[in-house]
Structure 1
């Protein structure tokens, strides 16, 4: 019975992969033909199936951008950048999309250790660094096994040094991955999806207006309270808005 269940699980997995592959190809074809709504529908279906990737989010951002839907365009570019940090195409297109927003908020500058850490680890996402750690650990194991069965002193010395080098890389990559994940969890950002939002001084519709934001603005969420979120802008301004006005990254 367990074997049968496992077989069905494997078949379901392969079926899902084939379906997503077909959807991706259909979406790309629709995009190439200028049918951006159809392309978006197929890309969104891939995400609904539980499959996410930088390519899907990047293509979604492009499709929404073609339709001048700024908020979802920026949202998906940001999601693509989370999965593929440092990707020049994503960064450039995200910059173009931001230029179409009304609010000139600027970008939050990372300072101190956090800024140095972020700028020096953009090669991979948190999960990417995890895979680097796994790869380095596998290489370390291979070197140690060969070291164990080797009889030549010079070869054993080189294998040992190389193995230790990859072990250090594995540990460092794992630490970077966990650190990036923790930092991402501590900093929750969102994109404003409503055309115009009155940001309040308190989490109440009758409170005074602090300032106004428009679709596509990127904000940092600092607190949640009964359907409201407190947001912070790069200039330090804070206020409250209803959670359904934004979409978390």
Structure 2
């Protein structure tokens, strides 16, 4: 019975993968033909099916950019950059999309340990560092097995050193991935999707107005209260806005 369930699950995953591949190809064709609305719908369907990738979010961001949909384009470029940090094409298109936004609020700059860590580990995403850790651990196991069964002393020494190098790299990669995940959870960012939203000094529609934001603005979520969230801008300005007005990254 377990074997049947496993085969059924495998078949369902294969069918789902094939369907997503067809949708992705159809979306690419629609984009190439200039039907950006249809392309966006196809890409969104793939996301609904549970599939995600930097390429998918990047193409979706491009589709919304062509449709002059500021907030969705920025949102998906940001998601693509999370999955593939340091990519020049994603970063450049994100800058183009940001230039369409009304609010020029800039980016929050990292300093101290966080700034150094972000810069030195930006080559790979959390998933990327996790895969590096797995690869290095497999390398450690392979070298250790060769070390264990080898009979020549000189070879054993070299293999042992190689095994230790892979082990150190594996542990380091795990620490980097865990630290990046922790820092990412601390920095809870979102994109404003409402065309215009008036922020309040308190989580109440009757509170005094603080300032106004427009779609596409990137904000950091500080606190939540019922249907309200307190956000902060890079210039330290804070205000409360309805949760429905934004979408978390």
Answer whether TM exceeds 0.5 for this pair: yes
- 1:243 maps to 243
C-alpha RMSD over aligned residues: 0.7
Q: Could you tell me how far apart the structure 1 residues matched to 2:157 and 2:226 are?
A: 63
User: Aligned ranges for residues 63-212 of structure 1 at < 5 Å?
Assistant: 63-212=63-212
- 2:24 maps to 24
SS in 2 for 1:99: helix
Residues 120-129 or 225-234, more deviating: 120-129
> Which structure 1 segments of 5+ residues have no match?
none
Q: Deviations over 1:20-39 (max 9, x none)?
A: 00000000011001010110
Tell me the CA shift for residue 128 of structure 1.
1.4
Misfit runs of 4+, over 2 Å: none
Tell me the CA shift for residue 187 of structure 1.
1.1
Q: Could you tell me how far apart the structure 2 residues matched to 1:155 and 1:23 are?
A: 52
Tell me the CA shift for residue 142 of structure 1.
0.4
SS in 1 for 2:85: coil
Q: Could you tell me how far apart the structure 2 residues matched to 1:86 and 1:155 are?
A: 40
Tell me the CA shift for residue 124 of structure 1.
1.1
Tell me the CA shift for residue 177 of structure 1.
0.3
SS in 2 for 1:190: strand
Q: Could you tell me how far apart the structure 2 residues matched to 1:129 and 1:194 are?
A: 35
SS in 2 for 1:204: coil
Tell me the CA shift for residue 244 of structure 1.
0.3
SS in 2 for 1:15: helix
SS in 2 for 1:202: coil
- TM-score (normalizing by structure 1): 0.99
Residues 119-128 or 54-63, more deviating: 119-128
Tell me the CA shift for residue 7 of structure 1.
1.0
Q: Could you tell me how far apart the structure 2 residues matched to 1:36 and 1:126 are?
A: 31
Tell me the CA shift for residue 17 of structure 1.
0.4
Answering whether residue 229 of structure 2 is matched by residue 229 of structure 1, we say yes
Q: Could you tell me how far apart the structure 1 residues matched to 2:195 and 2:179 are?
A: 35
